[in-house]
Each structure stands twice: as structure tokens, then as C-alpha cells.
Amino acid sequence: MKNLIKNYEYFFFDLWGVIYEGKKINRNINEIFQYIRKKKKKIIIVSNSSKSSLEILKFLKEKKLNIHLVNNIFSSGDFAKNKLFNLKKKILLIDGESKKNLNFLKRLKLENSKNFNDIDLAMAISVNRFISKKRILKKLEFCKKKNLKLICINPDLKIVNHNYGMGYYYNEYLKMGGKGEYYGKPNPIFYKYICSKLKITNKKNILFIGDTIYNDIIGANNFGIDSLLVKKSKLYKFKIKNFKMISLKSRKLLNPKYTINDLKIFD
């Protein structure tokens, strides 16, 4: 990491699997962040979480991350809020009425519909361990018959505990011929939004650090920024047939510029 830090000004860190490992933060992350800030570089957390940046900050503080070292946090939840706040639509939650999902709707002032015959659009927010893959796919088939648009808030295809993420089901819906939109990585609009907020004009100044090929590496490469793949979580091994979220116009999009087994200052 030390040799890479001198080459970039902005370091975009994925949250799950890179900073946070499912039970605790990466043991080296505070040291790495301290070194980056010592070199007067900027640390940006870029997450597909449906949580707000303030919720993520509170969570990381509880996990003993030195949050004062972080310059900015951008979440797909906040990005979605800019687009969907107070949208006058009745919504079907394909992943069920979990507390997390209902809190998200409340934060954005969105209406959850319990009546399958009175729905304007479908939404995939976060993984619900009480809802089976089969049940979600049945809901997607229903949505396709109703010609409903599917909104995906957290487009992760796989998550740290190896469950399918909402991005997986969003991709399945596209494969069915359904239509939708998603917020977060690998969507280039998400990266463009972040760069505009940070007033970054030169993409060569950015290094993206992630642990998945489809969300992190493809997203960064497609947007035109350098990428570093962290292999520790092994999520990079996940493969999906007929990836629809971004056109793989070149197989080079799958290849990170750098790879590392785990984050350390001295490699």
C-alpha cells in the first residue's frame, strides 16, 4: 500500500469486506488511514449500503474505526434519497418488510403497499435472511407479469456472509426482461455524482479499493479510475452468468490494475 499511496490523491474504500470484515474492522485499517492522512491525501468511503452516511459513521465509530480520519462517506442509500425522496408511488418490497427496509422507506417518506393489486413499482433494499431465494424469485416473476419497474437500492451481488445480495436479484430481473434502475456501484452515475460533490476533475488522482469484481472492479474500471482488488474476503471468486448491470464491452473491465491479499502499509 505504501508505494501506491504516493501515486494518488483520493482513496475510495469499499466498506464491507475491505474496511469492515463482517464482525470487526480490518486490523490494519486505522494504521493505513493514518498514513494516508499523514501524506495529506483524502479517504472516501463508498458503500452500497442502504444506510445514510451518518448511520454508517455511527456504526464504524462503534466498531472502533478512527472516524476523524475519514473525509467523506457516500452510500447508495443517500444517493437514492436524492432521487426518490417523497416519491408518490406504492411500493412492493421484494425482500420483505424487515425493520431495516421499513426504516429506509420511512427515511425517504415512501409508501409500502401490502396489496399486490395496488402497486406502482417494486424495490430491493437489503438482504433479509428470513426470505428465501425461491420466494424472492417468485415475487420477481409477479413483478414481470405486472410490468413493474424494479428499483435496487443496494446492488451488491454477494455479501460478506456469502448470501446473494439484492444486486443478484436485480440482475435476475433484467435477465427476465424486466426493467429497472439501481443506485450504487457499479453504476457510473454514482461515481459521477461522487466526483461532482468532491469537485474531482482528474480521474487519474483516484484509486478505488474493493473486494468484488462485479461491483467494485468493473464499476471503477468502467468509470475510468484505477482499481485495487483485496482478496481477503474471497468474494472476488464469485462469478455470474449474463451480467446485465453494465455492458462488458471489454473483458479488461474484469481486471484490477493492482491486487493484494490483505491491506497492509508494508507489503
For residue 116, the model assigns a pLDDT of 79
Secondary structure letter of residue 42 according to DSSP: E
pLDDT digits (tens, 9 = 90+) for 66-89: 999 999 999 999 999 999 999 999
Residue 103 has pLDDT above 70, yes or no: yes
Residue 266 has pLDDT above 90, yes or no: no
Within 8 A by CB and 6+ apart from 73, the residues are: 44, 45, 47, 53, 56, 57
Mean pLDDT of 159-185: 92
For residue 117, the model assigns a pLDDT of 82
Q: Which three cell numbers stand for residue 76?
A: 447508495
Q: Is the peptide bond before 188 cis (omega within 30 degrees of 0)?
A: no
pLDDT digits (tens, 9 = 90+) for 113-143: 888 788 999 999 998 888 899 999 999 999 9
Task: State the Cα–Cα distance between residues 217 and 230, nearest whole angstrom.
Answer: 10
Task: State the Cα–Cα distance between residues 194 and 110, nearest whole angstrom.
Answer: 24
In degrees rounded to 5, what are phi and psi of residue 25?
A: -75, 155
Residue 196 has pLDDT above 70, yes or no: yes
Which value, in Å, is the radius of gyration of the alpha carbons in the chain? 18
For residue 199, the model assigns a pLDDT of 97
Task: State the Cα–Cα distance between residues 188 and 193, nearest whole angstrom.
Answer: 9
pLDDT digits (tens, 9 = 90+) for 25-56: 999 999 999 999 999 999 999 999 999 999 99
Residue 161 has pLDDT above 70, yes or no: no
Mean pLDDT of 173-199: 97
For residue 44, the model assigns a pLDDT of 98
Q: With H, G, I as helix, E, B as strand and everything else as coil, classify residue 187.
A: coil
Residue 21 banded pLDDT, cuts 50, 70, 90: confident
What domains are there in the chain, each with its CATH number? 2-76+186-260 (3.40.50.1000), 79-182 (3.40.50.1000)
Mean pLDDT of 177-187: 96
Task: State the Cα–Cα distance between residues 203 and 170, nearest whole angstrom.
Answer: 28
Give the predicted TM-score (pTM) of the model: 0.94
Element at 13 (helix H, strand E)? strand 10-14
CB-based contact 229:217 (threshold 8 Å): yes
